[in-house]
Structure 1
Amino acid sequence: MASPFAPRLGTNYCPTGEEVLQIEALLVEPSLRLKGLDDEIAELQKAIDKLTEERNNLSIYVDGHKALISPVRRLPLDIIEEIFVACIPTHRNCVMSASEAPVLLGRICSSWRTISLSTPRLWAKLHIVEPSRWRFGSSNALVDDKVAQRLDTMKMWLGRSGQCPLSISLQSGPDYDSPPSTPTETSGQFLQELIPFARRWQHIRLAMSPVVFKELAHLTAEDVPMLESVAVHPQHQYPSAGVPWEHFGMLSSPRICSFAATGNSFPLSLFNPQILPLCWNLLTDLTIDGPTWQSPMSSGAMLQTMSHCTQLRTCKLVINDLGNPDLSHYSPVALPFLHTLELEFGTTPGSPVSRLLDWLSLPELRDFTLHGHTIMPHYLVSFFGLCPRLESVSIDSNSFSKNSLLENLRGLPPTTRHLTIHDISHGSGDPLAASLDDKALEVLTPASGISTCCPALESLTITYCSLISDSALLGFIQGRMAIADDSEVGHTATLKRVEIQFNRRMTLDVMPSLKPFIETGGLEVLISYISSRSTQFSPWQGLVDAPSPWAYSDDW
């Protein structure tokens, strides 16, 4: 509608008295029309509401009858059971929670509850958490009630498992009110209730006070005929003499193929495989981890142990050499089936890791991880040369000097597909620690006339780096993705994923340049930077209601 006041609309103009009268007269007819439209809308809304009510009633009728003929109601019982079993976590045991299977499955409807309660496989995995009696926590009465509740739930849960092999993990926190040599009554309660099910233990993981482990000392291999894996992680606040392994006859069970323990579960001396009554030649998975300063495993002990484990497939060890180890009197160790090896070394003046690795023959190794700080350069080129199937390498930058890092990158086998570098040396102040900078990416960036390092590389992950520039990263990705167009190279680009976590601010936005590779080449790029800090010159400084210094943006 045309209006003589159109130029004034939406402004702060104040009309004169005469203009006020003109505006009032101008609005008479439009106001009447507006009221008429409101009345029409109200009538139509009544009709719509009536139709909506009728539609909802019909929908309830139709949906109710459709539910009766839904396919899920006609699924055979065995199919439903398999679907239920597929809902169980595969990477850990089930927890006592109604938010996930199997408890959640019994809360959908009565028929599903009946099925879930009568399917023993759903209840064959259980993670048990012992309530801790914190010094500044809940009252003893409240903890006692929670303990009783979980004990009842545990017995009911395992009672539903029928005769299925059991996977159980028991987690207890440290009891700060107990003397270091006194087991908590609660830990003993839970373990004592689990022991009657020992004949069905298949996988057992125990994280509790080391003193409580004596409850297991009377078990023999005959008492645990199904036992295949054992994990022991003592929980305590005080120095301990470790777990009395020599009394654990259950470890001699011939079906145990996986063993894991933390360093503090052993006496504070060099590791000796003879203290464990394991059938070492049957182990396929071995883990001795924990803080390096707690590890009893030396380089020599590692060679001695691995020489007994010829069937190993995966191995994770924490090495703590207290001096310069003499490995000359050890024999080379051949592990023909080992495909995953993870080593972590403490900071010692001992020999380089490469000297230890030279004693290993690992023809099937595919996944290699090396953690830890070093004060000596490690050159792994000869080791890499003896691993013809190596595909995944994960290293810490401070495990190498700068020169040895570059040399080892150049020596990676051509089969390497996944490379991860944890840059944790920045700011350490150690002149021998590697500085992960542009030169490292230059080694991995294809160059004309030079054979490409790691031609099969599919993924590169670098964490917490500060010295790699955005331009070097862009050059690396562009070089890798352009390799398909280089006829001299003779193969196509393999890079599929790049993840970089920068411990600095962005200096160059590389994503626009990478857009063609992402959209057409299927490349996945994840780049993150630390948040930029805004100015600290706040005009609110000194006031009780001053905003957070991280939120300043428009202050003067």
Structure 2
Amino acid sequence: MSNNRLDSSKEAKLSELNQRKLKRKAELKVLTCSIEEINQELIQIEAEHAAIQNTRVALLALPTEVTCLIFQFALGYHVPRHSEPFFEITASHVCSQWRTISLAYPRLWRRVCYVGPKIFLRDLDRLDAYLQRSVPQGLELWLDFRKTHIDDEEALLEKTLEHVERWKFFSVFAAEEDSLAHLLHEIEHVCAPNLEHFAFSCEVLGFPRSYDLVKNLDPTIFTNGAPKLQSVILDCSSVACLPSLSNITTLRLEIPHAGTVFAFPWSTFQHILALPWLENLSLFGHIFYSPEPSSTGQITMTKLKHLRSEYGGMPQLLPRLRAPLLQTITIQNHNFLDCAGASSEPYVFPSLKSVTLINITVDTSSGEWYFAQMTESATEILISEEASSLAIFSLLQNSEELLKIFYWSKVKVLTCNFEIMEADDHGAFLQFAKSRCKNDLVVRIFDRLDRQWRRDFSPEYDVFTEACNIEIMDVEDNPFSQLWPPGEHSFEHFHDNEDPFDIKPY
């Protein structure tokens, strides 16, 4: 059996090495502590140095109230908010002075935007921090749960419910039927005394075709009251979560995703059209089952100011609509049919200012002519088509039946978004401009179309500029992509903040 013991000299060497090791570790610990102390002292020195230097920075010498106003103004440039870092986070990390001011300024933290998931506990802590820092301000909540686990979603929602009396704007976006059922349960009997805007999209595909949900407009959420609610956005798979609509002024009903089969029956949609305070109505998709035009009576909407419709049957109801305050109409992806059953004398919307037509097709000249008569009061026409020959006014100008009939006589601004200006349409444009020379007509086009027109049809372009004023539009100030309703606070949209009526320049 071999002897594994070391001889005495090696044992002594190991003992010496261990002692040296322990000594060096002790020295290292002392040095580490010393380095930490030095680092802390350096941080303090740098802070004091920066504080003295900052006394020369005019921005940091402003009164706290002025700094808060600057924060509030800058915050406006970060709406809509779908990517980090958010302004309030950035501002609170610039320097200690700004951090102190920002953390004590509740208005800076009233907009809570959750675009998770990340790390759940961190998300929950962050949400709680916003909720506490924003007291007593009204809350603007934007909660995107489309990729969040249902359990985490429930916890985050329950945290916000602790502050329901402060809800001002409340937008929730989910992607599961369980989310729909959970939200309905959580806010069914809630009272939201300060809620002004509610948006909910569940994106449930193939939602059951059950009219039990919409036989009337009785609220299924906030049943204990939401007296200040004025604006509602719903996709039709989420219509089970229906707040009281009795006081609303703005309503958006949309079917944004393929596969949804839900729609309002006509009997229920009539109640929507009869809402007493409704000023702004936007419909995207086949929202309701259209009745036979000949069987529809007169529809009176005394408060309506702004109307948008894409697909669906609303444009076919225009001949029956009486809206004395209507100012803007936007119609997209629609086919003007023959106005069978309409009154022989069209109702002219007396307050109408602007008409926007996007990708419109026409079956008969009577349909386009009837629409032109109804919108005779308009002073601005906006048209977006792939080719100029498809524009409704080109069809009107080139119609032999309507050749001698004057329409849109008050138009002062014609805004066009075409990919192609076709040679045969120059005459129609020129005739339209010449017949309205007393209006000082302005034709607005994007730079791309202007360059194509100048390049391919230079003589015609020169003649056209003599008949009217041509204005080149800025892509960044696209008139086909504006806030809606006009002049209102832009409530954030739920399709990744894409308004389905926004049109990009060709």
Range of TM-score over shorter length: 0.5 to 0.7
Query: What is the rounded CA distance, in whole Å, between the counterparts of 1:266 and 1:478 in structure 2?
Result: 48
Consecutive unaligned residues of structure 1, counting only runs of 5 or more, are 1-63, 132-142, 176-182, 268-274, 347-351, 427-433, 485-490, 529-556
How much is the aligned-residue C-alpha RMSD, in angstroms? 4.5
In structure 1, the residue matched to 2:326 is 365
**Contact 2:193/2:225, CA 8 A, preserved across alignment:** no
Could you tell which deviates more after superposition, 205-214 or 243-252? 243-252
In structure 2, the residue matched to 1:289 is 254
1:311 equivalent in alignment to 2:280: no
Query: What is the rounded CA distance, in whole Å, between the counterparts of 2:345 and 2:108 in structure 1?
Result: 45
1:125 equivalent in alignment to 2:111: yes
Post-superposition CA distance 1:446-500 (Å, at most 9, x none)? x999756343331322345x5x51563487269638955xxxxxx3413152349
Aligned residue runs from structure 1 range 354-503, under 5 A: 356-374=317-335, 376-378=337-339, 385-401=347-363, 403-404=365-366, 406-408=368-370, 410-411=372-373, 413-423=375-385, 435-436=390-391, 439-440=394-395, 442=397, 451=406, 453-464=408-419, 466=420, 468-470=421-423, 472-473=425-426, 476=429, 480=433, 484=437, 491-495=438-442, 497-499=444-446
Post-superposition CA distance 1:371-421 (Å, at most 9, x none)? 344484358997974311111212244453252464256426443233233
In structure 2, the residue matched to 1:85 is 72
Structure 1 pair 71/371, CA: closer, same or farther in 2 (3 Å)? Answer: same
Which amino acid in 1 is paired with 2:200?
A: V
Could you tell which deviates more after superposition, 82-91 or 369-378? 369-378
Which amino acid in 2 is paired with 1:362?
A: A
Structure 1 pair 171/527, CA: closer, same or farther in 2 (3 Å)? Answer: closer
Post-superposition CA distance 1:499-546 (Å, at most 9, x none)? 4977xx879535797689999x87423599xxxxxxxxxxxxxxxxxx
Structure 1 pair 356/482, CA: closer, same or farther in 2 (3 Å)? Answer: closer
**Contact 2:369/2:396, CA 8 A, preserved across alignment:** no
Query: What is the rounded CA distance, in whole Å, between the counterparts of 2:132 and 2:159 in structure 1?
Result: 12
Structure 1 pair 360/421, CA: closer, same or farther in 2 (3 Å)? Answer: same
**Contact 1:298/1:320, CA 8 A, preserved across alignment:** no
Post-superposition CA distance 1:274-302 (Å, at most 9, x none)? x9451x33111111111486341344432
1:339 to 297, 305, 311: 305
Query: What is the rounded CA distance, in whole Å, between the counterparts of 1:414 and 1:77 in structure 2?
Result: 54
Could you tell which deviates more after superposition, 506-515 or 103-112? 506-515
Query: What is the rounded CA distance, in whole Å, between the counterparts of 1:452 and 1:317 in structure 2?
Result: 27
1:235 to 189, 203, 208: 203
**Contact 2:91/2:99, CA 8 A, preserved across alignment:** yes
Query: Which of these two proteins has the greater Rg computed from alpha carbons?
Result: 1
In structure 2, the residue matched to 1:543 is none
**Contact 1:262/1:289, CA 8 A, preserved across alignment:** yes
Structure 1 pair 398/471, CA: closer, same or farther in 2 (3 Å)? Answer: closer
Kindly state the Cα deviation for residue 311 of structure 1 after the two structures are TM-superposed.
Answer: 0.5
Which amino acid in 1 is paired with 2:195?
A: L
Query: What is the rounded CA distance, in whole Å, between the counterparts of 1:326 and 1:440 in structure 2?
Result: 27
Structure 1 pair 67/459, CA: closer, same or farther in 2 (3 Å)? Answer: farther
Kindly state the Cα deviation for residue 187 of structure 1 after the two structures are TM-superposed.
Answer: 2.1
Query: What is the rounded CA distance, in whole Å, between the counterparts of 1:383 and 1:250 in structure 2?
Result: 45
**Contact 1:312/1:338, CA 8 A, preserved across alignment:** yes
1:106 equivalent in alignment to 2:92: yes
Which amino acid in 1 is paired with 2:273?
A: M
Query: What is the rounded CA distance, in whole Å, between the counterparts of 1:340 and 1:403 in structure 2?
Result: 26
Query: What is the rounded CA distance, in whole Å, between the counterparts of 2:409 and 2:227 in structure 1?
Result: 42
Pick 1 or 2: higher relative contact order, CA cutoff 8 A, min separation 6.
Answer: 2
Structure 1 pair 71/160, CA: closer, same or farther in 2 (3 Å)? Answer: same
In structure 2, the residue matched to 1:524 is 471
**Contact 2:426/2:460, CA 8 A, preserved across alignment:** no
Structure 1 pair 407/115, CA: closer, same or farther in 2 (3 Å)? Answer: same
Which amino acid in 2 is paired with 1:312?
A: L
**Contact 1:344/1:371, CA 8 A, preserved across alignment:** yes
Query: What is the rounded CA distance, in whole Å, between the counterparts of 2:155 and 2:404 in structure 1?
Result: 70
Structure 1 pair 479/282, CA: closer, same or farther in 2 (3 Å)? Answer: closer
TM-score by length of 1: 0.61
**Contact 2:362/2:368, CA 8 A, preserved across alignment:** no
**Contact 2:348/2:376, CA 8 A, preserved across alignment:** no
Query: What is the rounded CA distance, in whole Å, between the counterparts of 1:104 and 1:219 in structure 2?
Result: 33
Query: What is the rounded CA distance, in whole Å, between the counterparts of 2:255 and 2:72 in structure 1?
Result: 33
**Contact 1:402/1:436, CA 8 A, preserved across alignment:** no
1:158 equivalent in alignment to 2:131: yes
Which amino acid in 1 is paired with 2:93?
A: R
**Contact 1:474/1:510, CA 8 A, preserved across alignment:** no
Aligned residue runs from structure 1 range 29-48, under 5 A: none
**Contact 2:303/2:325, CA 8 A, preserved across alignment:** yes
Structure 1 pair 86/260, CA: closer, same or farther in 2 (3 Å)? Answer: same
Kindly state the Cα deviation for residue 190 of structure 1 after the two structures are TM-superposed.
Answer: 2.2
1:173 to 136, 139, 146: 146
Structure 1 pair 416/381, CA: closer, same or farther in 2 (3 Å)? Answer: farther
**Contact 2:229/2:247, CA 8 A, preserved across alignment:** yes
Kindly state the Cα deviation for residue 232 of structure 1 after the two structures are TM-superposed.
Answer: 0.8
**Contact 1:300/1:327, CA 8 A, preserved across alignment:** no
2:269 to 276, 280, 302: 302
Which amino acid in 2 is paired with 1:125?
A: R
Aligned residue runs from structure 1 range 536-547, under 5 A: none
Post-superposition CA distance 1:135-191 (Å, at most 9, x none)? xxxxxxxx5xx333322222222221121000111112257xxxxxxx722322321
In structure 2, the residue matched to 1:9 is none
Query: What is the rounded CA distance, in whole Å, between the counterparts of 2:57 and 2:267 in structure 1?
Result: 65
Kindly state the Cα deviation for residue 439 of structure 1 after the two structures are TM-superposed.
Answer: 3.5
Query: Which secondary structure state, in structure 1, belongs to the residue aligned with residue 71 of structure 2?
Result: helix
Query: Which secondary structure state, in structure 2, belongs to the residue aligned with residue 341 of structure 1?
Result: strand
Query: What is the rounded CA distance, in whole Å, between the counterparts of 2:378 and 2:75 in structure 1?
Result: 34
Post-superposition CA distance 1:44-64 (Å, at most 9, x none)? xxxxxxxxxxxxxxxxxxxx9
